[in-house]
Amino acid sequence: MPSLENNTTSDLVNDLEVIRKHLGVTRWLVAGGSWGTTLALIYGIKYPESILGFILRGIFLGTAAEYDWLYSQAGAAGFFPEYYRDFAAQLPDCKDSNILADYYEVLTGANEIAAIAASKAWCLWETRLSSIEHHHIEAHHIEDAHQALCMAKISSHYFINHCFVDEGFILAEIDKIKAIPAIILHGRYDMVCQLRYADKLVQKWPNAQLQILPKAGHSGFETQTIDGFCKAAETMASFITEQRSNDK
């Protein structure tokens, strides 16, 4: 099982910088999706001199409102009430306001059977929200207990701790990376990470380009998202090559 010791956003950011130096890379293009965008942005804010550019998919800024959207009845649950009932049913004694904390307690508790059941419910909820084709996703699709437990345990660890950053940190510090180019992809029908947060980000980031994918949700495996990411990589590669030529 994954260890939660020495496992914070700051630890991961520092790990990335250690890897960059170990590989002998002067600057690199940083890409990420969902929580990966949070990590990429925080890494860039701390080490802007290490970044050539960003390709980000499904912006998540790590704010309280985003956690509420995912885990309270007032958010995505309003669009998928039957799926949320399945999610909440795993913790029958839980109050809505405490569902994240209660899930974390079970996922990190000593009862392995309960933890596995909770992890499958956790992953099923997010998987159903992630795809436009959500109506095809049933409980039996979450088969790998080890993978589900790793995903749910680490996700809840970060979310219960608000990703180990102050509220509003990314937008407050965005000026540190405002000169760095970025292509941001976001599905119009993303029900995990709301489009509004990608829009807020680009309003404060003049060198960021937001591409709204009209037939995509949150999943990185939908056709339009894959195509958009490949094109973004080609665009960014051409831009970086041109910039290097101009610098000579």
Tokens of 6: 């020495």
Range 236-243, long-range pairs (CB < 8 A, 24+ positions): 236/29, 236/53, 236/55, 236/181, 236/183, 239/53, 239/181, 240/29, 240/52, 240/53
Beta-strand relationship, 182-187 and 28-33: unpaired
pLDDT over threshold 80, residue 143: no
Q: Is 218 a catalytic residue?
A: yes
Give domain 9-62+165-247's CATH architecture: 3-Layer(aba) Sandwich (3.40)
pLDDT of residue 182: 98
- Please state, in angstroms and rounded to a whole number, the distance separating the CA atoms of residues 135 and 109: 32
- 194 pLDDT higher than 70: yes
pLDDT value, residue 247: 67
Quick check: 142 pLDDT over 90? no
Per-residue pLDDT reduced to its tens digit, 202-230: 999 999 999 999 999 999 999 999 999 99
pLDDT for residue 248 is more than 90 = no
At 93 the pLDDT is 76
- Give me the catalytic one of 166, 190, 199, 247: 190
- Catalytic residue selected from 130, 155, 186, 218: 218
pTM of the predicted model as reported, rounded to 2 decimal places: 0.93
Which two structure tokens, joined as six digits, stand for 25? 């890379």
pLDDT in tens, 33-81: 999 999 999 999 999 999 999 999 999 999 999 999 999 999 999 999 9
pLDDT for residue 96 is more than 80: no
Tens-digit pLDDT profile for residues 121-133? 999 999 999 988 7
Out of 34, 155, 156, 219, pick the active-site residue. Answer: 34
Query: How many Å is the maximal CA-CA distance in the chain?
Result: 65
> What pLDDT is stored for residue 207 in this prediction?
97
Burial class from Cβ neighbours inside 10 Å (0-12, 13-18, 19+) for residue 241 reads exposed
Looking at residue 95, its pLDDT comes to: 65
Q: Which residue has the higher pLDDT, 243 or 183?
A: 183
Sequence ranges of the domains in the chain: 9-62+165-247, 64-163
Beta bridge partners of 32: 56
Name the burial class of residue 138, with classes exposed (0-12), middle (13-18) and buried (19+) by CB atoms within 10 angstroms of its CB.
exposed
Mean pLDDT of the chain: 93
DSSP symbols for 75-131? TGGGT-HHHHHHHHHTSTT--GGGHHHHHHHHHTSS-HHHHHHHHHHHHHHHHHHH-
